[in-house]
Copies of this chain bind each other. A is one copy, B any other.
Amino acid sequence: MAQQRAERADATRNRRAVLDATERLLAEGGGDHVSLDRVAALAGVGKGTVFRRFGNRAGLLQALLEERSRELRDAVENGPPPLGPGAPPRERMLAFLDGLGAIAEGNAVLLSAHDQACAQDRYDDPSYRFWHRHLGTLFAEGRPDLDAGFLAHALLAVFDGDLIRHMTPPGDPRRFTRSVRQMAAALLDRDGPQGTGP
């Protein structure tokens, strides 16, 4: 364990600039409008810089996504119930889906672009594995008679940027999250509906 040299100041500055540029491009055009040339140009850096920092297109989008979801992840790992450990599976899952839904609804374009870029290795992505393990555990507790691992994949499959944009009407920004919660509740309740909260 040698003492690591501190990260150079320009590197830090550039990483931020690149992430911000990506965000701006995502906001103003569709997800396919975000080419790495454009990102580099808007960030005022060379293309090589983008790749050294993030490896490839998928890495860049993943970094942005991770930034948006770090808070939720921390809360799930160490926060107070019902998000954190301690709450019963049903409440914990609904709280989690509420959080994930909010992030997804607020970042649908980013989500689409990320899925597009990741393609087949989406399921090896550490972020995905974390969400999957969390949901899988909760399902295993709540419904030991079903295939918990599959249900976890199924719930996550629904967090698709295009689907969210497709089924979110202008006047009801949380319709998606509501329906996801409702579905999860239906899956968890072996003995008839119990409602999905306030």
Interface residues on A, range: 35 or more
When the two chains form their complex, are residues A149 and B167 in contact, meaning their CB atoms are under 8 A apart?
Answer: yes
Name which residue of chain B comes closest to A190, CB basis: B192
CB within 8 Å of B: which A164-189 residues: 165-167, 176, 178-180, 182-183, 186-187
The answer to whether A116 has its CB under 8 Å from any CB of chain B is yes
| Binding stretch for chain B, among A14-22, A44-52, A75-83, A153-161 | A153-161
Q: Are the CB atoms of B166 and A154 closer together than 8 Å?
A: no
Q: What chain B residues lie within 8 Å of A122 (beta carbons)?
A: 162
A193 interface hit (Cβ, 8 Å) = yes
Across-interface contacts of A193 in B (CB, < 8 A): 145, 190
Contact of A186 with B146 at beta-carbon distance under 8 Å, contacts A120-B112, A191-B191 already known? yes
- Min CB gap A111→B, angstroms: 12
| Number of identical protomers | 2
Question: CA–CA, A186 to B154, complex, Å?
Answer: 13
Is A130 part of the contact surface with B, judged by Cβ < 8 Å? no
Partner of A167, one of B150, B182, B186: B150
Write the chain B residue with the least CB distance to A123: B166
Q: Does A119 contact B (CB under 8 A)?
A: yes
Partner of A116, one of B116, B157, B190: B116
Residues in chain B near residue A153, CB distance under 8 A: 158, 163, 167
Nearest CB in chain B to that of A155: its residue: B154
- Closest chain B CB from A37 CB (angstroms): 20
A74 within 8 A of B: no
Interface residues in chain A, defined as those with a beta carbon under 8 Å from any beta carbon in chain B: 30, 32, 112, 116, 119-120, 122-123, 143, 145-147, 149-151, 153-154, 157-158, 160, 162-163, 165-167, 176, 178-180, 182-183, 186-187, 190-193
